[in-house]
Structure 1
Amino acid sequence: MSSTQSVTCPGVARYVTIYSDRRVKAYTWYSDQAYLELCEVYVNGCQFGEYGNGNCDNVCTSCAGNRCHPTSGSCDVCAAGSYRVGDQCVHCPQNCAGNTCDSPSGACSMGCLAGFSGIYCKCPANCNDQTCDGATGHCANCYDGFYGPVCTPCPAGCSTDTCDKSTGNCIQCDAGFFGNQCDQSCPANCKANVCNKDSGQCGDCDDGFYGPVCTPCPTGCSTDTCDKSTGNCIQCDAGFFGNQCDQSCPGNCKANVCNKDSGQCGGRINFNIDFLAKHICRPMKIG
């Protein structure tokens, strides 16, 4: 044999034994007695838990006891929290309860952490039928009250917490809100705090307000009351006339009162009655 021998022994070992085996003689002239004289012995290999082909640059991961093939890194047995894919061990899905999964398939064996579902615990908890895309975790359908690929809760302003399961737009808003997400406030004086879901315009106003956004009635309106569509005053305060009661009565009207539409003083009617009494109606003498 060559005086310099190089033998590769892949595997994990603690001891190296070197011996000369003469049990089967390669030549008849081999002696039954043999002596093996070693001048120098080098044992090259990776430290425990490392591997590599010609180097030890890699660390055994997910192998039970950190034991792996010194060249390929493949595991004989997978560590807890991992399962076998081919000759490698990979971590169990991150949402598995107890970090445990089935060794052949990787399916979570003890259920899922809170908020997740499905055999691989990738599905958000609110996926209907607990089904989702195995790679992305996106839900095919959500329970009522949730929307989108990961079943996000419907916006807080949605009535009965119900929204379109694709867009998240509210079907109907809670009182006091409008808009697709029901996140905009209705005008302050809408009657019963209700407005149109799309435009935000009030269907009806509290007394003293008018129009689509419930503007206050003109200041000259008596008792602050006006037509809720036009804003025209029903009656004017003393001293004012016109639709908006924003025009002043003539200065000498009795009690500062004039006709709401024309502005004519109401006192002229009393004057005519007095005139008739004095000049037309005369007392009659009898007998």
Structure 2
Amino acid sequence: MYAVVLLVCCSWVVLLCPSVQAYENLALNKTAWQSSTRWPYTADRAVDGLYTDLREWGGQCAESVGRQTTAEWRVDLGEVRNIHHVLIQYMTGNDVWDENNVYTGWFLGFSVYISNTTNKEDGVLCFRDTNYTRATIPNPVNITCPCHGRYVIYYNNRTHPPYPEGFSDYASILLCEVEVYGCDVYTYGVDCKKCGNCSGGVQCDHVTGTCPHGCEPGMRGDKCDLEQNFLACYGENCSLLCPENCNCDVIDNTCVECVSGYKGHLCYEECDGNTYGLECNQSCSKCSGGVQCDHVTGSCQNGCVAGLYGDRCDKEHVTIRRMAWTVENHVVTVATGNHVITWTEVVNSDVTMGCLDLNVLQCVQPVDMAPIAPKPVVQTAKIATDLMASASLAAILDGRKLTVKRDVRNVIMFVA
């Protein structure tokens, strides 16, 4: 039989607070039973979800026969469930619920049990009224009862007179609705989150989700919901560290894979042969002098071979040493080596030729073109000052973007 956990607290309020609204009503339309029935007010009427008419003859309440010394009602939740609180709506006759309401005396002295059997003595006493009076007993009453069980049992008796002032002479069931809020087993919290992998497969704390006796092997965290610490640990509560450079099996400590930059059965060997990274499957053959890159990051510590740049020498540097342009009929032609790009704009036709070295930002004289007198960048770049204010050119040149932009000095610059 499933072990019933110890009841840790009991409290009550008149109305449900918003923080518990995410719980499910586990009792709705479940099988109910009562010790006696005043026909046709059967036990199931207290779990049908209807309690707008709280009169005796309103058809929405369960009722036992009169002149009984004990009265018992229960609902079967179908299986052991994670219960948080129980709400009981008692009969009112649709009258104001105060000390003058005739039904208050029948409600006084009741008890609520949670059990895994139909016998209340096998379960946990959630609540027993020993303090309420006709003037103070709330209706509905909300009883916090954090425990596990299958049956929720309402019980009242008038077996040991004399009774406190205000009590009825007999026990009776006058229940219009009993709502049992909670979650499935192995869940916790107001939104019924799933428990982690607690050691021994036990239920986690129903409120916090923490595991009372630690975690299953390979799991960690107070909720035991973090797997294997990213393969860096093993054993119960993931308390033992894997060997250096090894992501190990959470049970037997064998290496599942090596950490980035290492290889071999025991992960002792660094990546070599111009490789790096996880499983040494990344190539880094462009380091200057053919030296091995960093086995973890792939960075080249001594620079790159000609034409490449970046930490891993994986970016191609396009060197545009010469750029010349001509203007004819408002068509600007830019020539850089084997590439010719043209675009049409309104330009100053008085300037028909210029040159620009994009690397050193000064004019050079192309050897394969007609000689051009060197001029300062600002002067030579003014070839395009008559371009439209919104002018910008983007072209793909050897895999890099070439853009024409106007700077704050109203000078058009070519940016590689």
State TM-score, norm by structure 2: 0.26
Q: Which has the higher strand share?
A: 2
State TM-score, norm by structure 1: 0.35
The structure with higher relative contact order (CA 8 Å, sep 6+) is: 2
